């Protein structure tokens, strides 16, 4: 049985209202003083209040009635001739919730029933809205999970395709390597015979033309031997771990630059050494020197005679060691930069084997580092080697 709170200062009006409410039947809870208000309202389905109950503002009484249930119906009883009270009550609860004295069952009960029904509908709407919100959040969460799963699947698919491509390339290179190793061995033996051209120079020293031809033969032999060595290095792979030792990266650069003084291409450029730190690295001195030589030599071939090439060594904020080789030469397009390191890809025609960058990258990676290039056509290229450094710097 629904409980109906009745807040009325006038006991006669209160009892009459309670009698009408009990006809439905409802359980009336009468309060004739503000001190009884809370007990009467607690657990009630609706509140019927006198317009001037307790001498308090009607709005305050309505707020108290709806404090725990915002949809709890409130009906206001006003004197039939009090137009101001009726108007204020209609503004507060609506004209259909205003009852005039004397209270009549024909007026009160239909309006109470309608108010209770509207309140129930409002609660149903709230519950449905809450369920819709919950489902929308669940749907948004499911959509997010689906999107993340799709992204993860796409990433995995890309990684799988990349791994498959690398595996195919590795298998191809392994097959090529077995053939090339045999060919390189034979070429090395035959090219060694060409070295006799050096001995012939002493016998034809009086003939400048023959000396020049002998120099051409010796130069060709050296280039071919260098290419054979590059092919061997590229196809052999890291069979054994490199013997590494703590070494100052600056000393490796100095060793490489000392050797490059005899390179005719590098000798005609202005190589500038910039040192802002002495990072210690666990490294194979000879292998890293080979990387520096290759990068500086490439920079020389990309620049004109007299151009500057900067070789810099520094310590990064995260403690890593960085080596950069910077030139202001012809530069490369993004498409060319993306292909650097591909076997036999070269931009120098017959002057390049297309193996140097790949060998350098493999050496750097064997040291736990990275090799990257940034370049702009017509503005130059920067090769950047980043290596893990030991704690502390060289003195």
In this structure, what is the dihedral angle of CA atoms 146, 150, 153, 157, given to the nearest 10 degrees?
A: 170
Strand 321-327 to strand 308-315: parallel, antiparallel, or no bridges (unpaired)? antiparallel
Q: How many Å apart are CA 15 and CA 17, to the nearest integer?
A: 5
Residue 158 in tokens: 């890309």
Angle at 193 between CA 188 and CA 198, to 5 degrees: 120
CB contact at 8 A, 120 and 98: no
395 residues of the chain, pLDDT tens digit each: 889 999 999 999 999 999 999 988 889 999 999 999 999 999 999 999 999 998 889 999 999 999 989 999 999 999 988 999 999 999 999 999 999 999 999 999 999 999 999 999 999 999 999 999 999 999 988 888 888 889 888 888 888 888 887 777 667 666 666 666 666 666 666 666 666 667 777 777 778 887 787 777 776 666 666 666 666 666 665 555 667 899 999 999 999 898 888 888 899 999 999 999 899 999 888 889 989 998 999 999 999 999 999 999 999 888 899 999 999 999 999 988 888 877 766 776 555 566 778 888 888 999 999 999 999 999 999 999 999 988 755 55
Residue 113 DSSP SS3 = helix
Sign (positive or negative) of CA dihedral 137, 139, 141, 147:
negative
Burial class (CB in 10 A: 0-12, 13-18, 19+), 192: exposed
> What's this model's pTM, rounded to 2 decimal places?
0.47
CATH 3.90.1150.10 given to domain 245-387: no
The conformation of residue 354, written as its DSSP 8-state character, comes to S
**117 token code pair:** 């029904």
User: Cα(327)–Cα(305) distance, rounded to whole angstroms?
Assistant: 12
Rounded to whole angstroms, the Cα distance separating 193 from 195 reads 5
The fold adopted by the segment(s) 3-123 is Rossmann fold (3.40.50)
Structure token digits, residue 273: 């050494």
pLDDT digits (tens, 9 = 90+) for 183-217: 666 666 666 666 666 777 777 777 888 778 777 77
């Amino acid at each position: 049985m629904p409980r109906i709170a009745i807040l009325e200062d006038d006991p006669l009006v209160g009892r009459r209202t309670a009698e009408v409410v009990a006809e439905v039947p409802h359980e009336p809870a009468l309060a004739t003083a503000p001190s009884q208000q809370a007990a009467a309202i607690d657990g009630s389905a609706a509140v019927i209040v006198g317009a001037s109950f307790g001498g308090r503002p009607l709005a305050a009484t309505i707020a108290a009635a709806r404090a725990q249930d915002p949809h709890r119906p409130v009906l206001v009883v006003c004197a039939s001739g009090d137009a101001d009270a009726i108007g204020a009550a209609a503004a507060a609860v609506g004209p259909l919730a205003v009852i005039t004295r004397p209270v009549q069952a024909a007026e009160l009960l239909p309006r109470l029933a309608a108010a209770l029904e509207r309140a129930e509908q409002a609660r149903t709407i709230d519950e449905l809205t809450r369920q819709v919100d919950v489902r929308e959040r669940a749907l948004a969460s499911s959509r997010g999970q689906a999107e993340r799963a799709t992204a993860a699947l796409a990433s995995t698919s890309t990684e799988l395709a990349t791994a498959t491509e690398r595996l195919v390339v590795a298998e191809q290179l392994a097959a090529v390597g077995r053939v090339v190793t045999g060919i390189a061995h034979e070429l090395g033996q035959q090219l060694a015979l060409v070295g006799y051209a050096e001995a012939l120079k002493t016998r034809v020293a009086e003939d400048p033309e023959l000396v020049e031809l002998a120099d051409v033969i010796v130069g060709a032999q050296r280039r071919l031997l260098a290419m054979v060595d590059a092919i061997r290095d590229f196809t052999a792979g890291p069979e054994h771990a490199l013997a590494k030792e703590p070494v100052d990266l600056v000393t490796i650069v100095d060793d490489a630059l000392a050797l490059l003084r005899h390179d005719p291409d590098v000798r005609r450029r202005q190589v500038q050494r910039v040192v802002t730190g002495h990072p210690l690295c666990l490294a194979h001195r000879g292998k890293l020197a080979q990387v520096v030589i290759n990068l500086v030599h490439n920079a020389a071939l990309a620049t004109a005679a007299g151009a500057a090439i900067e070789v810099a060594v520094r310590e990064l904020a995260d403690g890593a060691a960085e080596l950069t080789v910077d030139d202001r030469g012809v530069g490369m397009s993004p498409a060319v930069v993306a292909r650097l390191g591909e076997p036999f890809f070269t931009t120098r025609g017959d002057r390049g084997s297309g193996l140097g960058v790949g060998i350098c990258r493999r050496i750097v990676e064997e040291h736990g580092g990275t090799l990257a290039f940034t370049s702009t056509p017509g503005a130059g290229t920067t090769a950047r080697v980043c290596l893990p450094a030991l704690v502390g710097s060289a003195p």
